[in-house]
Chains A and B, each alone.
Chain A
Amino acid sequence: MRYSALLLASCLWSFPQFGCDGPSGTGGVGLELTLSRALAIQASKFQVAIVSKGRDYDCQKVQTDCLRRQVDLAQLVEVTDALGKRQKAVRFSSRLSEGNDAGTPRTQDVVIEGIAVGKNYAVVIEALSFDTPPKLLGSSCNYVEEIRAGSNDRLIANPMATFPTPVDCDPTL
């Protein structure tokens, strides 16, 4: 963990509700809350990949490690990035909303384009750290039964599972 991350994490641990410049002595919250905030702060990007034959994979297991170590890359459904290029995955800068309450997830809306129509997909979202190469901070795996032509219904992703320490694999696809 980098020094700045240690400093930040210790600061959040001391003032969990309000951050480093807030009042003290207001009671503690669980470590997992702090780590979730740490993930939100330290994630440089979110990477979204779509896997065909999604139901062949156990999402609970997929969320424990880099996707690239768990699937055949040929199973990835190509998507279109902002430059119009076909890619195995697309990445977005982390711009999570500010969650007001402890129970409210922080969110970020993105759109994945150019997905081939089909059924039985899994959408995997991974949080990448700022390291070079990046590490895996968290993962969310979601089954999508069908992608139709045009715009599909919004996928509200499962809340991202976080790791006590970043997984030392480069998630970049």
Chain B
Amino acid sequence: MVALGAGPAAPEIDRAQRLIEAAEFEEAVRVLDRTLDQADLSDRSLVEIYRLLGLAHLNLGDEGAARDAYEKLLQAQPDFELSKKEPPKIRALYARIKEDVKKRRLKPVSLTFDPPAAVEGGRPVELGATIQNLGLGSKARLYFRRSGSQVFSSVDFTRERGRPNAFLVTLPAFELAPEKKPYEIEYYVEVSDMSDRRLAGKGDAFAPAHFSVVSRGATSADTESASRWYQNPWVWVGGAGALAAIGVVTLVVLSSSHDSGSLPVTIRVSQTP
């Protein structure tokens, strides 16, 4: 699972949860329907909204509406199960819906991402991708590093408003510092579901793709030489002290993105006395 931002819809979602607990299912549906109209809902909020909508409709006996909500939810969480505390009739209805959804063929996710061979350093770079059939709760992420580095940084794609299959990612300017000589950025793209299962991608950590970062006005010859910079003996001869100093500065500039990690956590609530 990944982190859930609170977002503007959180109070409404909390209110709908309380209404369902109080068996006010019709009011809960009204609140949730209104919430769906809000702009800038995160995928996580949408997952939660559809879960509650499905539950409210099930309790109202509206199988059709419940099916619609759970179909969207099951795209993101195929193993979602109703709480065992729900009455048997409700659980049977959900089991029927889930079985029907499973029988249908889901269209595979496809990714098209072709950045330019070279980008200009010193300014943020926006790159576009086409991702089809990206289910609710799934995400696409670009991992990148300067050639020679060990650790990848990452940045998430965001969906373009009004264009469901078009996604954008922005590399900040400080990650593409302008230098006299072109250098390479290695990258790979991963599209994954809420359980971090890879659905589609381009490249991987062991075989990344790459593009060059050039200074303004660089020629194609300069770009060509970027792939052979390490063959230049002057890179290795002399200037070691200057390189170390530059490395320290670079480390400070890039520290927020390279020196970070993720921590999977299992939260436990004990049931033992």
Which listed segment binds A: B216-224, B240-248, B260-268? B260-268
Contacts of A36 in B (CB 8 A): 269-271
Q: Total A-B pairs in contact (CB under 8 Å)?
A: 185
Contacts of B256 in A (CB 8 A): 116
Known contacts A21-B87, A29-B273, A98-B84: A85-B265 contact under CB 8 Å:
no
Known contacts A4-B22, A81-B5: A113-B269 contact under CB 8 Å:
no
- Whether B83 contacts A82 by the Cβ 8 Å rule is no
Contacts of A4 in B (CB 8 A): 21-22
Which listed segment binds A: B11-19, B64-72, B114-122, B225-233? B11-19
Interface membership of B237, Cβ < 8 A: no
Please name the residue on chain B nearest to A158 by beta carbon.
B268
Most buried by A among B22, B44, B269, B273: B269
- In the bound assembly, the distance between CA atoms of A116 and B230 in angstroms comes to 31
Contacts of A37 in B (CB 8 A): 271
Which positions 49-72 of chain A face chain B at CB distance < 8 Å?
A: none
Interface membership of B63, Cβ < 8 A: no
Interface membership of B7, Cβ < 8 A: yes
Please name the residue on chain A nearest to B48 by beta carbon.
A93
Which positions 85-109 of chain B face chain A at CB distance < 8 Å?
A: 85, 87-88
Contact residue range for chain B?
A: 35 or more
Chain B nearest Cβ from A135, distance in angstroms: 13
Most buried by A among B7, B84, B256, B260: B260
- In the bound assembly, the distance between CA atoms of A123 and B265 in angstroms comes to 9
Known contacts A150-B262, A151-B264: A103-B4 contact under CB 8 Å:
no
Please name the residue on chain A nearest to B260 by beta carbon.
A114
Contacts of B42 in A (CB 8 A): 82-83
Contacts of B1 in A (CB 8 A): 92, 95, 108-111
- In the bound assembly, the distance between CA atoms of A123 and B7 in angstroms comes to 23
Please name the residue on chain A nearest to B273 by beta carbon.
A30
Known contacts A81-B3, A147-B261: A108-B267 contact under CB 8 Å:
yes
Q: A19-B84, A103-B272, A117-B260 are in contact. List 17 more A-B contacts (CB 8 A).
A: A4-B21, A44-B14, A48-B265, A82-B42, A83-B5, A92-B3, A95-B1, A98-B84, A103-B271, A105-B271, A107-B266, A109-B264, A109-B266, A111-B1, A111-B265, A123-B265, A147-B263
Listed A/B pairs (11) with beta-carbon separation below 8 Å: A21-B88, A33-B272, A39-B269, A44-B14, A93-B48, A98-B84, A140-B267, A149-B259, A151-B261, A154-B265, A159-B268
